[in-house]
Amino acid sequence: MSITYLEAICEAQSHALRDDPRVFIYGQDVGAFGGAFKATKNLAKEYPGRVIDAPISEDAMVGLAVGAAIEGMRPIIEMQFADFSTVGFNQIVNQAATLFWRTTVPCPITVRLPFGGTSGSGPFHSQSLEAVYAHYPGLVVMTPATVEDAYSMLLEAVAIDDPVIFCEHKFLYYHLKADKLPSEALPVGKARIAREGRDMTIVAYSAMVHEALEAAAELAPEGWEVEVVDLRTVKPLDTDTVMASVARTGRLLCVGEAWPWGGVTAEVIARVTSEGFGLLDVPPQRLNAKDTPVPYHPNLWTAHRPTPQAVAAAARRLLRL
Amino acid sequence: MLARAGADKLSAMLQTVLDPDPVSDGVTARDTHLAAYRYMLLARLLDEKFASLYRAGKIHGGVFIARGQEALSVAVGISLKRGDVFAPLIRDTAGRLAFGEPVIDAVRTYLGSILGPMRGRDGNVHRGRPKEGYLPMISHLGAMISVVNGALFARRMKGISGTVGATCIGDGGTATGAFHEALNQAAIEKLPLVLVIANNHYAYSTPNDREFACRDLADRAPGYGVEAQSVDGTDLSACLKVLGEAVARARSGRGPQMVVATLLRLCGHGEHDKAEYIDPKLKASPVGRDCLKIAEEFQLGQKWTDAAALERLRGEVVREIEAAVAQAQREPVPDPFTEDWCAISSRHLSETHGEKDSA
């Protein structure tokens, strides 16, 4: 048996619906149609009345989830694309993210964001918004990079009493497969060493973990042993695991698919330089998408985002410093 | 640890509840009118107290009063039952009190008392008790409507029937995308929502003709598949009747109800605002009447009360307010050193990096 990242997300939702009567799914086309990406395939049939089509109203979708959460439910909101969550941004960052702090009443909602670039998707179906949401207090931001994490972290997201922004990478939906679903997982908030090495650390998350692993494999025949840290959640950020890795390697490259300005890679570098400056042998570097909207044509798109080749090139430059 | 222990002790102290429902079944129109008037007077005098505390520099931030909107607001609060959902907005002092908000909750929130429902973390009109169906507004207009929808939606999923949800908004708030999305959503789901629009003719300083181009805001309702009623927002009797009917229709399963009230804000947007933009012709017209005065004159005309009784009531209300203010002024305010600075309930997932930085 093999299961894809997308099927793991569908299975996790099925599991959550089965185990917890408080769970329901609300989003555009999630009902009988099974979702734009089929992440809710068959769920409306299996759980009648609990997988519900929403109008194209991202603001009202999230608002409804907050009201339902106050009444004790555990809603999962599917944004059709992460890009459209900006229409529901106000409800996420001002309503959901402030509720507990203002009132002591928790807001257990999960907002699923199919995010990241795929070839030909262009400026409005490719965005990576994890840093934008991580900027706001009151939110947990998950960025699973593996089939196993997609499954176990989505279950955790639903179980957590706080609003969770669940960033699921569209490129990984079909490309990533595992033999089976996991029975146990690392705790949420804990990063993972995806590949061990002693010469440098690459910190990445979501799809960029795979680009980093490919780059590490490319560098191995050249004699470099590259360690890859998968952040798993960008908020909270597991600074300890990153720092421990940098303590071993002395070199740090952060890779993110999002735009560079004030992003997750900037945050990681800020933490390592302010708390572990002495661990660094050379200045830390980062590699992000370019600071433009995400382009449509594959020629532009592959040059816009970090590819394994770009990561490997950046790593080589860092190793020679 | 200290912060944690403080928070636990605090949450135990916060286990107060809304006041019991004053109006039960079988009451007469007279009883309701008298009860409503008392809340209106309480709201008016409480607002005036907040305004004077503000001018004396005792209140941080703004004070937003509801002068001229008490009749409409109280009619919403009094038409709801305990167990219903209510998301009031900026000018709903009267409706909040009628829904059961203790005066001390309002005073503690304005004065930043740590014993208030918002514990100094939020202030003025941003207060509520979500677990009791009393939702605290955020400042972004239109945003509370879909939250009420969600509460009603959840109740339906849980098999709870017979409760309604009401929320209030102004003429300006109807221009938001959130208003449109949420009303459409409520109509699609046929939720028992009562959406009350106070057309007070100004969104801060912006007049109606810069906010909407339809003849009447009530004309919008059929476009959503929603029933609507218009009411003279200066007339308490009319407001009680129209809101009572709207709430009853929603409760009986007729779907969302819109009520559009015409009135005039008889004050600034906040106490910092002199409101010189308000057209004197509007002030002199029937929409500029003071609803509190009209309600009082009506009761006198009906011989439901007399001057002496009104004077006694005023004294009683003033004492209630003064007692609450005196109490809240003696209460502790938040202490940044015991504040736990944690924005999420899952403490093990909180970010501690910023704290380390500033330590």
CATH number at residue A255: 3.40.50.920
Please check whether residue A222 is in contact with residue A283, taking contact to mean a CB–CB distance below 8 angstroms: no
Residues A251 and A314 placed together within one structural domain of the fold:
yes
Chunked in runs of 10, what are the mean pLDDT values of chain A (321 residues)? 95 98 98 98 98 98 98 98 98 98 98 96 97 98 98 98 98 95 94 98 98 98 98 98 98 98 98 97 98 97 97 98 88
Distance set, CA A134 to CA A97, A271, B198 (Å): 11, 15, 37
Residues A154 and A272 in one domain: no
Q: Whole-angstrom Cα distance, residue B268 to residue B272?
A: 7
The pLDDT score that the predictor gives to residue B1 is 36
In a domain, B298, yes or no: yes
The predicted pLDDT at position B26 comes to 62
Average pLDDT, chain A: 97
DSSP secondary structure, A105-139, as one string? -----EEEEEES--TT--TTS----HHHHHTSTT-
Overall number of domains in chain A:
2
Q: How far is CA A111 from CA A35, A72, A304, B343, in A?
A: 14, 17, 27, 18
3-state SS, residue B163: coil
Residues A258 and A308 in one domain: yes
The separation between CA B229 and the C-alpha centre of its own chain, rounded to angstroms, equals 20
CA distance A89 to A80: 14
Cβ–Cβ of A103/B146 closer than 8 Å? no
Average the pLDDT over B313-317 and give the result. 98
Domain limits for position A161: 3-178
Nearest to A94 among B129, B140, B343 (CB): B140
Q: Looking at residue B2, what is its pLDDT? A: 39
Is A236 in Cβ contact with B118 (below 8 Å)?
no
Q: Give yes or no: residues A144 and A33 share one domain.
A: yes
Please provide the distance, in angstroms rounded to a whole number, between the alpha carbons at the two ends of chain A.
46
Is B150's pLDDT higher than 70? yes
Encoded tokens for A156: 């955790």
> What pLDDT does B27 receive?
77
Residue B273 lies in a domain: yes
Q: Average pLDDT of chain B?
A: 93
Q: What residues does A74 pair with on adjacent strands? A: A23
pLDDT(B11) > 90: no
Answer yes or no: do A237 and A272 share one domain.
yes
Q: Residue B339: CB partners within 8 Å, gap ≥ 6?
A: B3
Residue B24 belongs to some domain of the structure: no
A56 and A141 co-located in one domain: yes
Considering only alpha carbons, which residue of chain B is nearest residue A275? B357
Residue B216 belongs to domain with CATH number: 3.40.50.970
Chain A contact present for B8, CB below 8 A: no
The CA distance from A224 to the nearest CA of chain B, in Å, is 32
Percent of chain B with pLDDT over 70: 91
Let me know whether A106 and A227 are in one domain.
no
Q: Are residues A49 and A160 in the same domain?
A: yes
Query: Which residues in chain A are contacts of B149 at CB distance < 8 A?
Result: 60, 63-64, 67
- Chain A positions touching B117 (Cβ under 8 A) are 103
In terms of residue numbers, what domain contains B127? 30-335
Residue-level pLDDT at B14: 45
pLDDT computed for residue A207 by the predictor: 98
Number of folded domains in chain B? 1
Catalytic sites of A, residue numbers: 125
H/E stretch holding B203: strand B202-203
- The answer on A212 and A166 residing in a single domain is no
> Could you say which residues from 248 to 307 on chain A have a Cβ atom under 8 Å away from some Cβ of chain B?
271, 274-275
Backbone angles phi and psi of A161, in degrees to 5: -80, 5
Give the per-residue pLDDT at B19: 76
Has residue A83 been placed in a domain? yes
Domain contains B340: no
Do A84 and A127 belong together in one domain? Answer: yes
- Specify the pTM: 0.95
| pLDDT tier for residue B351 given thresholds of 50, 70 and 90 | confident
B38 found inside a domain: yes
Residue from B122, B139, B152, B157 to probe the interface with A (highest A Cβ count within 10 Å) = B157
What is the value of ipTM here, to two decimals? 0.97
Q: Which residue of A has its CA nearest to B178?
A: A59
Whether the pLDDT of residue B245 is over 70: the answer is yes
Cα distance between residue A266 and residue A288, in whole Å:
10
CATH number, domain of A155, equals 3.40.50.970
A147-158 burial: b if 16+ Cβ within 10 Å, else e: bbbbbbbbbbbb
CB nearest B143 (choices: A55, A71, A90): A90
* Identity of residue B18: L
The predicted pLDDT at position B230 comes to 98
Q: Is residue B2 part of a domain?
A: no
Strand ranges, E, within chain A: 3-4, 23-27, 51-53, 74-78, 110-115, 140-142, 164-169, 177-178, 192-195, 200-204, 226-230, 233-235, 252-255, 285-287
- Among candidate residues B239, B230, B75, B64, the one with its CA nearest the CA of residue B137: B64
Question: In this predicted structure, what is the pLDDT of residue A177?
Answer: 96
